[in-house]
Amino acid sequence: MSESISRRGLLKIAAGTAAAGAGTAALSGCSTIESMMGSDEGGSSDAFSIVSGKASLPAAKGPRVVVVGGGWSGLTMAKYLKRYYDKLDIVLVEKNSLFMSCPISNIWLAGAVDTDFLLHSYDDAAKNNGYIFFNATVINADRENRVVYTDQGSIDYDYLIVAPGIDYNYASIGVNPEQEFMLRKKFPAGFMPGSEHLTLKGKLEDFEGGVFIQTVPKGNYRCLPGPYERTCLIAEYMKREKIKGKVILLDQNPDITIKAEGFHHAFDNLYKDYVQYIPGVNITGVDPEKQQVIAETDGFKDTYDFADAAIYPSVRGAKLIEIMGLTKEGSQMEADIDPFTYQAKGDEHVYVTGDARPMGYSKSGNTSNSEAHYVAKVVAYHAQGKELPTWESPQTICFSAVKTEPLESIMVDAKYKYDGRTLAGFTDVTLKEKWTPAMGQGNIAWAEGMFNDMFR
């Protein structure tokens, strides 16, 4: 247990965690949490001693950097921090024991790559790159005393990198908590790593016909082209399997948000009888029991019945950001950081990277990976007392498959102009909206390159 934090202090942290998780103001008393965690002050088996006791880890051999979240950002940070300062001691904390990629998962959904292509070993990544992988869920941090709490014990840090990605904001589509629970279980969005993708694949394999609804959220959501790519590949699957069905894509934006020409062309030409694209839809409710989406378009109320669905609400920064007191006011509950150094406002030992950032970059894997290459340098230089590097724009390279037999894709490649307050536009943009087999191969080669960069 950290010498510097008392049991009462930790209980307050736990209380804050519960309060933030419930979306309410701070809890007034700690007694409920205390009783939940066990009341035996000196006992070694109660929940308190597990969370506050030291995690079973080797002693730090240099300034310790704890990276929270083994996604595209955290994996890249963990690897490259050491490249820029080899004395750093890196611990990557991730709640899942196995990495499953979101990128390429739509192609996998359509059966064009095996599951193995998406799965990677955290232990191998750590071994190959000289850091520690710690399989645990981060609960909170005591930033004053630089301790991070996990369900497997606490870890002292010199630097904390928080890269937990996103959570869904179901309130954005007007559902109550019970409906949210049912939607998560029965009609998941499939935009977070893990079992949602497996559920979605099962749905497709069992689909017997009728309407399959997909929704596109408002705001800066994860993977702008993802819902459109998935629409193409589900439509292709229905066409191939001769299923009497169609995808209705309810878009809460006025038009396709990226690669619009390419996707419109695919919907109209490849999948005319299988895709109905409806833009400008304001979703006001979803009834998971009746299997209906309730929406307004141009002031008119519509109800869409579905046989099956993947309902994608707006996204927010992962709840851990809020729990740690890092939220930026006025953002999609993303982190309050300096946009050039990624340092948390008022805390030079904490950085937030990846899709939990507030800057309006595309929330994509390539963006997170290229950004982490730069932020790793910032943290390593800070730890060595060196002048910080000049800002480097993240890069968004994003392929989207429109068909899989053979695999053919469209793509965009862009960097950002950023003035510190708002996005000042894009630069170095390449947009290829005519699909070809060569681009399909480029799509797979891109993913292999990224996996090599994070795991080898």
The footprint of ligand FAD (CB under 6 A) covers: 68-74, 93-96, 102-103, 105-106, 137-138, 163-165, 190-191, 193, 222-223, 226, 318, 320, 354-355, 363-366, 368, 398-399
Rounded to the nearest whole angstrom, what is the least distance from the CB of residue 167 to ligand FAD in the complex?
Answer: 9
Q: How far is the CB of 364 from ligand FAD (least distance, A)?
A: 3
Buried b (16+ CB within 10 A) or exposed e, 174-213: ebeeebbeebbeebbbbbbbeebbebbbebbeebeeebbb
CB nearer to ligand FAD: pick between 102 and 294: 102
Q: Is 429 exposed, middle or buried (0-12, 13-18, 19+ CB in 10 A)?
A: exposed
Instruction: Give the shortest CB-349-to-ligand FAD separation in angstroms.
Output: 18
Beta carbon nearer to ligand FAD, 341 or 368: 368
Q: Tell which residue, 188, 180, 237, 191, has the closest CA to residue 213.
A: 188
User: Which of residues 170 and 294 has its CB atom nearest to ligand FAD in the complex?
Assistant: 170
Nearer to ligand FAD, 120 or 382 (CB): 120
Contact partners, residue 335, CB within 8 Å, separation at least 6: 162, 317, 321, 326, 327, 328, 344, 352, 356, 357, 358
Q: Which is nearer to ligand FAD, 16 or 365 (CB)?
A: 365
Shortest distance (Å) from residue 303 CB to ligand FAD: 27
Number of C-beta neighbours around residue 388 at 10 A: 13
- Measured from each CB, the residue nearest to ligand FAD is 71
DSSP-derived 3-state class of residue 365: helix
Least Å distance, CB 401 to ligand FAD, is 9
Q: How far is CA 413 from the centre of its chain?
A: 20
Comparison of 291 and 366: residue with beta carbon closer to ligand FAD: 366
CB of 449 to ligand FAD, least distance (A): 12
Task: Give least dist CB 223 to ligand FAD, A.
Answer: 4
| CB of 294 or CB of 313, closer to ligand FAD | 313
Nearer to ligand FAD, 54 or 87 (CB): 54
- Which residues make Cβ contacts (< 8 Å) with residue 370, sequence separation at least 6? 394, 395
Look at residues 183, 221, 223, 180 and name the one whose alpha carbon lies nearest to residue 199: 183
* Other beta carbons within 10 Å of 295: 23
User: For residue 143, is it left (φ>0), alpha (ψ between -120 and 50) or beta?
Assistant: alpha
Work out how close the CB of 169 gets to ligand FAD at its nearest, in angstroms, rounded to a whole number. 15
Q: Are 208 and 119 in contact (CB under 8 A)?
A: no
What does the alpha-carbon distance between residue 295 and residue 316 come to, in Å, rounded to a whole number?
A: 22
Min separation Cβ 396 and ligand FAD, Å: 7
User: 74 vs 245, which CB is nearer to ligand FAD?
Assistant: 74
Least gap, CB of 38 to ligand FAD (angstroms): 22
> Which amino acid, one-letter code, is at 362?
S
Is the separation of the CB atoms in 387 and 360 below 8 Å? Answer: no
What's the number of CA atoms in the CB half-sphere (13 Å) around residue 249?
Answer: 28
Per DSSP, the three-state class of 219 is coil
Name the residue nearer to ligand FAD (CB basis): 222 or 377: 222
Scan for tokens 């359509």, then name that residue.
110
